[in-house]
Structure 1
Amino acid sequence: MSKIDDVTRLRHILDATTEACEMISGKTRNSLDTDRTLSLALVKLTEIVGEAAANVSKEKQNELSQVPWRDVISMRNRLIHAYFDVDLHIVWQTVTEDLPLLVEALRIIR
């Protein structure tokens, strides 16, 4: 199995982040309570962001110190390990407030 390089992982983060942000266009916080598909999709995309972040090398993480790596990875861990108790308010806050900032921090790889 080939090792995925940092640039590819960063693109995975950027792609999943961008997709999550696009999915909420025209939506409200209440949409997560009424649209199960949307809530599951946003959780999955956030998990992907965190999983890819966890696999970016420490060297690249240090180089991109503007990215809150620990927070991104911790969010993934909370979603994966506490799948039975996902707080949709936190998911909404993450997608509407934190992920757009992550896109900005990673736009250098475009």
Structure 2
Amino acid sequence: MQSDNRDRAALWDMVAAIRQIGEFTANLSGEEFLGNLLVQRAVEREFEILGEAAKRISENFRQANADIDWRNIVNLRNLIAHRYDRVQPDTLWNIITAVLPSLLIQLESRLPTLPLDEDLLE
């Protein structure tokens, strides 16, 4: 049960990080992103959170959801945190535009539904 709760919390954190990246970059072109160091650093932080949350997912959940590329999510976090001098903003932009939309859908489909409070319906 504790593992289930930890997985749920980590999934919510992952979804929140992707949504935050979306907010940071919503009105930017690739060129604008590449020219905006402040946004790049904010996005890097959210990628770190995304990867750290992915590390918290239990091995059982990872195996049951093997279609999600857990390893590369964590690897990107490690690159940003430990090899920051090798981070390429254009690579981040490609991930933002080509990978995150489908990853968000995958993660959202695995989020637990919230219990319905009957009192709210009255």
TM-score (norm 1): 0.89
Q: How many residues end up aligned between the 2 structures?
A: 108
Instruction: Determine the structure 2 residue equivalent to 1:102.
Output: 103
Query: Matches of 2:35 and 2:103 in 1, distance apart?
Result: 27
Runs of 4+ that moved beyond 6 A: none
Conserved in 2, the CA contact under 8 Å of 1:54 and 1:73?
A: yes
Unaligned runs of 5+ in 2: 113-122
Percent identity reads 23
Query: Matches of 1:32 and 1:26 in 2, distance apart?
Result: 10
Instruction: Determine the structure 2 residue equivalent to 1:70.
Output: 71
Query: Matches of 1:44 and 1:13 in 2, distance apart?
Result: 12
Amino acid at match of 1:78: L
TM-score (norm 2): 0.81
Conserved in 1, the CA contact under 8 Å of 2:79 and 2:86?
A: no
Unaligned runs of 5+ in 1: none
RMSD: 1.6
Name which structure has the greater RCO, CA cutoff 8 Å, separation 6+: 1
- The offset of 1:20, in angstroms, is 0.5
Instruction: Determine the structure 2 residue equivalent to 1:28.
Output: 29
Query: Matches of 1:46 and 1:12 in 2, distance apart?
Result: 11
Query: Matches of 1:99 and 1:46 in 2, distance apart?
Result: 10
Instruction: Determine the structure 2 residue equivalent to 1:59.
Output: 60
Check if 1:19 corresponds to 2:32: no
Q: Which has the larger radius of gyration?
A: 2
